[in-house]
Amino acid sequence: MVKRICILVLIVFVSLVIAACERGDYDNRSLVPDECAHLGNIGDWQPVWCDEFEEDGLPDPDRWGYDVGGHGWGNQELQYYTDADPNNAFIEDGILHIRALRTSQGGNDYTSARLVSKWRGDWEYGRIQVKARMPSGRGVWPAIWMLPTENRYGGWPKSGEIDIMEYVGYNPGLIHGTIHTDEYNHMHGTQIGYSKEVPTAEDEFHVYEMIWEPRRIELFIDGERFAIFGYNPLTNIDVENYAAWPFDQPFHLILNLAIGGTWGGAQGVDDSIFPQMMEVKYVRVFQKDYAAMDEEPPTPPGEITIQKTGPDHIRFMWDHAEDDVMVHRYEIFVDDELVGDTTLNAFNVTNLDPATEYEISIQAVDFAKNRSDAQSITVETDSP
């Protein structure tokens, strides 16, 4: 009798395990570290990195480092960024203060701080929330933004920049969100940006938020979306994929308060306003466990459209595949040989022979590394 019960229990247990696997059950807190356990999920987004600024003193060195110096930072800025100086970066009563002072250092007339999470917090895709209050006065230029950690495509702007929030004091109550790439950046006047009026930006704390997933970035203020960025293969036929959309690599977060500069100082600096502070109540980063959530392989990519051919290249696009969670990337094959991959829905194959017929194939791959069936087309390069 005991043996029969044990066998029945074992059968039931195995059945439950199989059913769980078939349902695709996963641990929806699998990514959450102990220090963020007090935060709840936002849907499928799990808290993976956070700073609530609970201990007075300098910012936590396990979470934040500093960019240091006073060389203008590519924007003719006037401040010297100090290194762990409590005059410029400190936590008090649960709030991080980034303070700009009218103090000379390193040949600069102002000091401030630029906190970076680099090598302490780096993320490829995620949801970031920063609750902050802006400084005021002509000449201040605070920002909540991101730069690539590894610069896979080269130095700025080749590897991209994401400005979650920028603010210039001479234009109070107006928040800006922008992306910069090799093709689209402020040096060419081609940056892509949006603005939103927030009349109480200097008086009240607001949540500045970014949601970044493959091929898409969205910006929000207090939960209201004000910016959407994406990739359009029709308008980037002659642009390399990385030059239009380099946002497929780890980025880190930056919190800083600049003084003056090409934008912040466009109307000069009012020296009577100092000291000035950007105040931050918390920084929270969320991510999805895409691979663990996934149950099915993607559908094949849609029909391939040839956009441009030459004697040595073929440029083509396709409709996105669909997946139960998220397509991670597309693998590109020429005559069954893998020649590259991309997160986008366009590709330019080069180094081909003229007047030669090739079979182009594309497979979608999700985060669990499930592959779709291939979509293929036969194309001939141009004669020389």
Q: Please name which of 297, 274, 261 lies closest in space to residue 143, comparing C-alpha atoms.
A: 261
- How many Å separate Cα 358 from the centre of its chain? 36
Distance, CA of 192 to CA of 244 (rounded, Å)? 11
Q: How far is CA 369 from CA 246, 346, 364, in A?
A: 21, 20, 9
Residues 6+ apart with CB under 8 A from 326: 213, 214, 288, 290, 294, 366, 367
166 has catalytic annotation: yes
Q: How far apart are CA 182 and CA 131, in angstroms?
A: 30
- Is 61 in a helix, a strand, or coil? coil
Q: How far apart are CA 210 and CA 237, in angstroms?
A: 28
Q: Assess whether 240 carries a catalytic annotation.
A: no
Question: Are 347 and 338 in contact, with CB atoms under 8 Å apart?
Answer: no
Q: How far is CA 17 from CA 3, 8, 11, 26, in A?
A: 21, 14, 10, 12
- Pick the catalytic residue from 77, 166, 183, 209: 166
Catalytic one of 22, 77, 161, 337: 161
- Written as six digits, the tokens of 314 are 């073929």
Active centre residues (catalytic): 161, 166
